[in-house]
A and B are shown apart, each in its own frame.
Chain A
Amino acid sequence: MSKSEHSEKIILEAKNVEAWFGDFQAVKGINVQYSERTINAIIGPSGCGKSTYLRCLNRIHEEIEGTKVHGEVLLEGKNIYDKKIDVVEVRKRIGMVFQKPNPFPSMSILDNVVIGLRLQGITKRSTLMEVAESCLRKAALWEEVKDKLNSLGTSLSGGQQQRLCIARALAINPPVLLMDEPTSALDPIATAKIEELMNEIKLDYTVIIVTHNMQQAARISDYTSFFVYGKMIEHGLSSDIFTNPKEKQTEDYISGRFG
């Protein structure tokens, strides 16, 4: 029987994270720890703060006007919301893949992957090519695009574009990768391809993925959190949550009896 061989080292921790859109509190006091090299799913009914919470983890939520975030998020022990920390640096270590594939238009596939590095000042062509190949392989896209690296990123299909965005996020080598419903805009085959590559990614990165697809969470994740109306109702090993959850709300949701 395969045992999850992840370490128990905590790489990211949320401490009483709260978030507002103006006066509306979307996230209400989340406390959770994430272990290194694990896949962590966040499930729950729509509109219950999952994505908002996720966007607090890389400080993208605050880019919207009128938003507020309280609490701490510790990346390897350091609070990313500390006043002395540069938010741009934070985002280099906590990457994100969005629901709708968003490769940069007017840029080639290769440019898309390496733009993050290039704009950090790394311009040596051989380095960039290495990183590009490695990340495109991890994103299970290399074989399909290796002969057309210079064609436009937007010339790919939806599923391929999303894998391109994954490669782009991996290129800057963030220890944590956030994914906000990455497959909900894709067809089942593209979805399956991305779920497959998650197992590869898990070897080097910690993934936190918001998904409205429970079966997806059950299939791919090591740990699952269940959110309702901005609160985290339960968090634990996926094999426990989906076979014997502790909270009745969790059980109701998983059995499809929730609202």
Chain B
Amino acid sequence: MNYRIIRKIKNALFKFVIVLSAFMVLIPLFLIIQFVFVQGMGSLNLSFFTEIPKPVGEIGGGMKHAILGTIYTVLLGALMAVPIGITCGVYLSEFRKSKLSKTLRLTVDLMSGIPSIVIGIFAYLMVVVPLKSFSALAGGVALAIIMLPIIIKTSEEILKLVPDHIREAGLALGLPRWKIIFFIILKGSVSNLLTGIILAISRAAGETAPLLFTAFGNMYMNFNMKEPMATLPVQIYTYAISPFKDWQRQAWAGAFILMVLILAMNIFARYVLTKIKDKKGF
């Protein structure tokens, strides 16, 4: 009888320790969200979304240009990274044992370990210097390089999940390999791939360092790829270290919006897409 009670106490204690550890992970996240929310929410107003910065010293203005700039550069980066990334993912999953595959995998692993600021410098050398100007294009390139390893790895994993007997079934129907890959395997993994892409995008959207040397930043609206462009992270940084209280306030708002954006993308990718996949099967 005694042993039973002792066991129950031990179980309860262990459970307590585990739950406590879980909370220790959750608490910082919630604190950050709550803090940014409180600071940022108060500074949010319509003009934040609809106006570009006012001249230095003047109160007001917004980050419309930075929000659009982030979307622009991230999409630009995605446009470059997604096709290359998925193609590499396809190659790695279809030709697993070739020398090229082994080299490629090693390269991808190394790539994902490069500090983002170093990637920024690389993009600076490759794009900014030849074009003799900071540009959104350079920013896109830098973000693409950041996104590439994530997309390649997830694509490869997702495609490897498709069992071999599906490929065999395709071959047995008299279909050439490329049609099998494109119309059957890829088509069947759309939502998984989309998830991977969105996670890569959400990672890139929050990068600041690489954009410092590439897109650089801009106080005005710009849609020209070859010219510097404002992005949310860089704009936040610029405003946060400035001496102007109004700008600092706007920095909080920007941080809040950036955080919401990235959280939303993550939630969408992980939960909404999986639900759609379960219902529709792709």
Contact of B174 among A100, A107, A116, A152 (CB under 8 A): A116
Q: What B residues does A88 contact at CB under 8 A?
A: 174-176
A106 touches B188 (CB 8 A): yes
A106 touches B281 (CB 8 A): yes
> B100 contacts the other chain (Cβ, under 8 Å)?
no
Which residue of chain A lies nearest to B173 when distances are taken between CB atoms in the complex?
A116
User: Nearest-CB distance from B191 to chain A (Å)?
Assistant: 9
Q: What B residues does A104 contact at CB under 8 A?
A: 166, 169-170, 184, 188
A60 touches B171 (CB 8 A): yes
> B30 contacts the other chain (Cβ, under 8 Å)?
no
Q: What A residues does B174 contact at CB under 8 A?
A: 88-93, 95, 116, 120, 172
B168 touches A91 (CB 8 A): no
> A58 contacts the other chain (Cβ, under 8 Å)?
yes
Which residue of chain B lies nearest to A95 when distances are taken between CB atoms in the complex?
B172
> A228 contacts the other chain (Cβ, under 8 Å)?
no
Assuming the contacts A89-B174, A106-B187, asked whether A98 and B169 have C-beta atoms less than 8 A apart, the reply is yes
User: Nearest-CB distance from A81 to chain B (Å)?
Assistant: 16
* Best-surrounded residue of B169, B171, B175, B190 (most CB of chain A within 10 A): B169
B166 touches A105 (CB 8 A): yes
B97 touches A105 (CB 8 A): no
A89 CA / B188 CA spacing, docked (Å): 25
Q: What B residues does A91 contact at CB under 8 A?
A: 171-175
Q: Mark B171-187, 1 if CB is under 8 A from A, else 0.
A: 11111100100011001
Beta-carbon contacts under 8 Å, B125-180 to A: 162-163, 165-166, 168-176, 179
> A23 contacts the other chain (Cβ, under 8 Å)?
no
A222 CA / B240 CA spacing, docked (Å): 84
Q: What B residues does A187 contact at CB under 8 A?
A: none
User: Nearest-CB distance from B54 to chain A (Å)?
Assistant: 51
Contact of B173 among A105, A154, A168 (CB under 8 A): A168
A95 CA / B183 CA spacing, docked (Å): 19
> A63 contacts the other chain (Cβ, under 8 Å)?
yes
B166 touches A169 (CB 8 A): no
Which residue of chain A lies nearest to B187 when distances are taken between CB atoms in the complex?
A106
Q: Mark A105-117, 1 if CB is under 8 A from B, else 0.
A: 1110000000110
> B244 contacts the other chain (Cβ, under 8 Å)?
no
> A147 contacts the other chain (Cβ, under 8 Å)?
no
Q: What B residues does A90 contact at CB under 8 A?
A: 174
A92 CA / B174 CA spacing, docked (Å): 4
> B23 contacts the other chain (Cβ, under 8 Å)?
no
A120 CA / B183 CA spacing, docked (Å): 12
A172 CA / B175 CA spacing, docked (Å): 11
> B14 contacts the other chain (Cβ, under 8 Å)?
no
A119 touches B172 (CB 8 A): no
Which residue of chain A lies nearest to B170 when distances are taken between CB atoms in the complex?
A104
User: Nearest-CB distance from B172 to chain A (Å)?
Assistant: 4
User: Nearest-CB distance from B174 to chain A (Å)?
Assistant: 3
A92 CA / B190 CA spacing, docked (Å): 27
> B282 contacts the other chain (Cβ, under 8 Å)?
yes
Contact of B168 among A60, A65, A103, A105 (CB under 8 A): A60
Beta-carbon contacts under 8 Å, A194-227 to B: none
B171 touches A105 (CB 8 A): no
Contact of A98 among B165, B189, B281 (CB under 8 A): B165
User: Nearest-CB distance from B129 to chain A (Å)?
Assistant: 46
A154 CA / B278 CA spacing, docked (Å): 12
Which residue of chain B lies nearest to A89 when distances are taken between CB atoms in the complex?
B174
Q: Mark B183-220, 1 if CB is under 8 A from A, else 0.
A: 11001111000000000000000000000000000000
> A102 contacts the other chain (Cβ, under 8 Å)?
yes
B171 touches A95 (CB 8 A): no
User: Nearest-CB distance from B47 to chain A (Å)?
Assistant: 46
User: Nearest-CB distance from A56 to chain B (Å)?
Assistant: 13
* Best-surrounded residue of B97, B174, B189 (most CB of chain A within 10 A): B174
Q: What B residues does A27 contact at CB under 8 A?
A: none
A96 CA / B282 CA spacing, docked (Å): 25
A98 CA / B163 CA spacing, docked (Å): 14
A172 CA / B170 CA spacing, docked (Å): 12
> A165 contacts the other chain (Cβ, under 8 Å)?
yes
B165 touches A154 (CB 8 A): no
Q: What B residues does A172 contact at CB under 8 A?
A: 173-174
Q: What B residues does A107 contact at CB under 8 A?
A: 184, 187-188, 281
A98 CA / B174 CA spacing, docked (Å): 15
Q: What B residues does A103 contact at CB under 8 A?
A: 169
* Best-surrounded residue of A58, A104, A107, A165 (most CB of chain B within 10 A): A104
Q: What B residues does A119 contact at CB under 8 A?
A: 173, 175, 179, 183
User: Nearest-CB distance from A110 to chain B (Å)?
Assistant: 13
Beta-carbon contacts under 8 Å, A50-95 to B: 58, 60, 63, 65, 88-93, 95
Some 11 contacts from A to B, beta carbons below 8 A apart, are: A58-B172, A93-B174, A98-B165, A98-B168, A98-B172, A104-B166, A105-B166, A106-B189, A115-B173, A116-B175, A119-B183
The 4 tightest CB contacts between A and B, nearest first, are A92-B174, A106-B188, A91-B174, A96-B172
